[in-house]
Amino acid sequence: MTIPFEEEELKENLPEEYPLLPIRDLVIFPYMVFPIFVGRKFSINAIEEAIENNDRYIFLALQKEKDIETPEEDDIYKIGTVATILRMVKLEDDRVKILVQGVARGKIKKFIKENDLYKVQVEILDKDEEYTESLEVEALIHSVKDLLDKAVGYGKQILPDLISIIKSVDEPGRLADLVASVLDIQSKEAQEILEIIDPIERLRKVHDLLIKEVGLLEVQQKIRNAAREQMEKDQREYFLRQQIKAIQEELGEKDERQEEIEEYQKKIKEAKMPKEIEEEALKQLKRLEKMHPDSAEAGVIRSYLDWLVELPWNKKTKDILNLKKAQKILDEDHYDLEKVKERIIEYLAIQKLRKGKGIKGPILCFVGPPGVGKTSLGRSIAKALGRKFTRIALGGVRDEAEIRGHRRTYVGAMPGRIIQAIKQAGTKNPVIMLDEVDKLAMDFRGDPASALLEVLDPEQNKEFVDLYLGVPFDLSEVMFICTANRIDTIPRPLLDRMEVIRIPGYSEEEKLHIAEKYLIPKQLKETGINKNLVEFTRPGLQFLIRGYTREAGVRSLERRINEILRKIAKEIALKGKKKKYKITKSVVKKFLGAPIYVPEKERKDEVGVVQGLAWTEVGGEVLKIEATKMKGKGNLILTGSLGDVMKESARTALSYVKSKAEEYGINPEDFDKYDVHIHVPAGAIPKDGPSAGIAITTAIFSIFSELPVSSDVAMTGEITLRGHVLPVGGLKEKILAAKRAGIKTVILPEKNKDEVLEDLPPFVRKDLDLRFVDHIDQVFPIAIVGFEKLKEKVDKKS
């Protein structure tokens, strides 16, 4: 703060030598009074010297660099101010406070250093300031005073007494010094003013700096006014809203918009989202608050917030870690399927040992024909774990956005099916069944199978980002279960992420057990019939299974049971009789009509007709292979919608029989005289694969040896040019198909023996003669009727 003194005439007899007080960051002008705090030793010595020996006069000069502790001559500006010390006070921390009054400008002529004391010889510069009065000078003086008034008007703080003194001054030099002392300028700019000796030039410089400061003050004033107006507006709106709120409460009404915002805030807090996701939700809520409630964008944000607050970010069910109870639930719901049940119990065992910490949900894939219980098994697993269950049907899905979600920029955008399933389940660790994963499609909208790669990778799905949400959701605790009818259509990278568990078809004995224990009680409950009124006999059930169903699973069997019970329900409802119904073979025929499938044995063994075994998506099937020869030029004709692999098997078979013709008593010239036609009936159905190799070879051998093939024998296996039998897949399904068809003997590759004996229950092998071969020479004695006589005949000739 500067305090003006009463004007005094400059002393005529100022001394020539002064103690020097270097000042770090302050320029003192003549006529003004300033307080200065002094702490350096040489500065305190200068003050004491001035008071004791120099009539209280001291020379004040600005340091060029304020950080220099002990300045030398070159570190101090030459032009400074002669000042008188009005008062001195010693402070507690060895510092000194002085009050000085500027007297006159001076220029250092000589610099003297005596121990810790600086002295200078000074030339007084403004003893007699001379200037020429003119209109320009007068105008300049008036302009400076007007600008000072404006500065005060814009909020510049200047003591009223100082303003009065400035307005009473008409000398340009003194006016310039007084105004310069109140300007908000840097010390170097103040030094430049101090060094201007010409009073008019000095006043011009001050005038220019004052214009700049007034402009700055004007802008600041506008900013302050705008801010104040906005604050007043916001305050006014706040008070008005509070008044409206009070009025609405008095009337029993509420501000719906504010109520909506508060409701969202409450839901966001209760959702217990991760911090970064909560911040995103609050950011979107803030945007919603500023929008018109009926705008399209507001609707999009509401939908987005609804999804965020309804997702189970921190909700999960506690797993049932009682292994015996889980085993009991699995056994009650499904018959057999031991491998699947064992895998679930293993998972629970690990959960129990690790107390549920740090274990990722397994990705299981159940592969098997329709109707074997793949989907219902998922429900049982969820029940055994004590988790929520939800199912996603992937059959025919061809849009990647179905999995990852749509971006919010699209009209009608929504999250993908994974996030929808999580929301539906209401917990972050449900069992999610991805049904028919082998039937995913792809087109220009993307590849949904590729989108599933992240979902089904335990290393990646911890931070799964749905495009609609735009924030990560943790899927690592979800147990994903996929189902498929076949593996070959599942993309290899996707299959690599899954643990495949095969669920083969059921034998007749298994179907009987499933029908008695599961299907009949379920359908009795659904049809509302008292369980004591209906009894299915074993022969009746067997007749139903053999005559009306031919499938790997039990879906068709369940429909047939339901059909019988519906007819019984109709009779009970119409006649009101509640007699006991015993379901025998005759009752089944009465309710369902003539059997659809008649298990027939070939009436006779035929030449060139072989029972082959095939695997299909719906289970095993007996495939009749027919061969015949006709006069021609040795051509091979293949019909029946055969694929490339099956055609190659036929060529291989013909080549093998040709190469071994003489060994089996076949005239090699016959192959050039006759064309061979191989046909597989049901020509509209495409067929492919190598497993019909030995069946085609047997058929070709039969037509050239003119010996019939046993109708009680079925076979499967791939053949090489050397006659070796190679292993094939789907053995259990094929053997079950053979048993359903009444086949007595099944020829199988030797290399599949361990697999068959391990996977096939004893009751399935019962009444079946399983023959394992590793060469086609072992097949002919089993399948060809009269082969032994042919062999004896050939041996005698040789």
Active site residues: 691, 734
Number of neighbours of residue 600 by Cβ within 10 angstroms: 9
Number of neighbours of residue 784 by Cβ within 10 angstroms: 24
638: its two tokens: 């293949």
| Residue 363 parent element (H or E) | strand 363-367
Q: Is 71 annotated as a binding residue?
A: no
Q: Which residues, 6 or more positions from 244, have their beta carbon under 8 angstroms from its beta carbon?
A: 255
Q: Is 374 annotated as a binding residue?
A: yes
Q: Is 368 annotated as a binding residue?
A: yes
Of 477, 411, 425, the closest CA to residue 310 belongs to: 425
Judged by DSSP in three states, 356 sits in: coil
CA-to-CA separations, 490 to 365, 483, 486, in angstroms, rounded = 11, 11, 8
Of 82, 128, 124, 126, the closest CA to residue 103 belongs to: 82
Q: Is 369 annotated as a binding residue?
A: yes
In whole angstroms, give the CA distance from residue 24 to residue 208.
25
| Residue 45 parent element (H or E) | helix 41-53
Q: Is 370 annotated as a binding residue?
A: yes
Number of neighbours of residue 392 by Cβ within 10 angstroms: 21
Torsion of CA 4, 6, 12, 15, to 10 degrees: -40
441: its two tokens: 């499609």
Adjacency order of strands within the sheet including 636-639:
636-639, 674-679, 619-631, 609-616, 713-715, 745-749, 769-773
CA-to-CA separations, 598 to 509, 545, 548, 594, in angstroms, rounded = 18, 11, 9, 10
In whole angstroms, give the CA distance from residue 656 to residue 696.
11
| Residue 383 parent element (H or E) | helix 374-385
Q: Is 396 annotated as a binding residue?
A: no
544: its two tokens: 């139903």
Bridging pattern class, strands 464-465 and 472-473: antiparallel
Q: Is 4 annotated as a binding residue?
A: no
Judged by DSSP in three states, 535 sits in: strand
Which residues make up each annotated binding site for ATP?
368-375
Which residues make up each annotated binding site?
368-375
